[in-house]
Amino acid sequence: MKKVSGIQKFIAYNGLEHVYKSDKLKLVNSKGIEYASGLNNQHDSLLTVSKYTKLSNLERSVKDQTFYFSSPSEWLDPFEMLFYRPKINVGDIENVVVHACCFACNDIENEEGFWQIWSKDEKDPIVRVTYNVEKLLNNLNNIAGDLYEFYLGGMEYNSREVIKKQLATDNYEQIDDYLNKLCLKRNAYKYENELRLFVKKVIVNNDDKEIQNTIINNIDYNHGTIIEITLPPAAPLGNSHPARDLMKKYQKGISIPIKVRLSKLIEDGRLTCKLTQSSLYCTEITKRTYNI
């Protein structure tokens, strides 16, 4: 049976007062996530991560300058829910709430799976948003004040038997103990190569909104925080397969409106990012086919 590797500790990240990262997190780039222990923080590198999200959510976030952290209660894997608590105690601090934003690393290899999983609702199209992690963390750090702390950690993939043996409690000596539980995930999801950004806050009342999610205001999405927005893949032309025909019809009706809506955000100066369309199904078709 596979053993659980050493517990990851969260250490101050690159001089950012309110941001911490796993001491096992070495590198995030086109090759995915790499882990090691006892690393010199100066040699760590965090480049880009992606998030598949509804276009309407992206538009709202950019227009309102907000960044959304969801409650783990929205996660679908019951083995993750073994450890989630709406509120926990950390040492002498009561009513600590932790929410998360989940990213995919090195998602190109498994791109088709991501598009199919996230694009079930054709009425609300999905886009892939690529972030510069450094700029996003700087953004969040500058806004945190005494209200928030942010923690960056990679997932620990294990069998369900190993995960079930971990202890769930409402009381933790350190926040690291709780975050390590929220970084456990079954091997079935290993293809996601997931990175999680957590936010910790202490609530002073039992307001449901505070417990259900965390919305950070005054986020600057310009100046390179968002590097690129990718539209869903277009279907190959000349392919008569019924599923492909359906996809073509879907793309014909929805890709142009997506482009128009995103272009408006760019023209308004709210974004200065690259706008592309996935060439996932591009085989013998020239790349020009997919220019938007």
Over residues 209-256, the pLDDT tens digits come to 778 889 999 998 888 899 899 888 765 555 555 555 655 555 555 566
More confident residue, 24 or 232: 232
Domain layout of the chain by residue ranges: 10-221
Residue 2 has pLDDT above 80, yes or no: no
Question: Could you write out the DSSP letters of every residue in 75-125?
Answer: ---HHHHTT--SSEEETTEEEEEEEEEEEESSTTTTHHHHHHHHT--TTS-
How far is Cα 111 from Cα 109, in angstroms, rounded to an integer? Answer: 6
- Global pTM reads 0.83
Over residues 243-285, the pLDDT tens digits come to 556 555 555 555 667 888 888 888 888 888 888 888 777 655 4
How far is Cα 28 from Cα 30, in angstroms, rounded to an integer? Answer: 7
How far is Cα 176 from Cα 96, in angstroms, rounded to an integer? Answer: 13
Q: In the prediction, which pLDDT does 1 show? A: 34
Residue 5 has pLDDT above 70, yes or no: no
How far is Cα 81 from Cα 196, in angstroms, rounded to an integer? Answer: 15
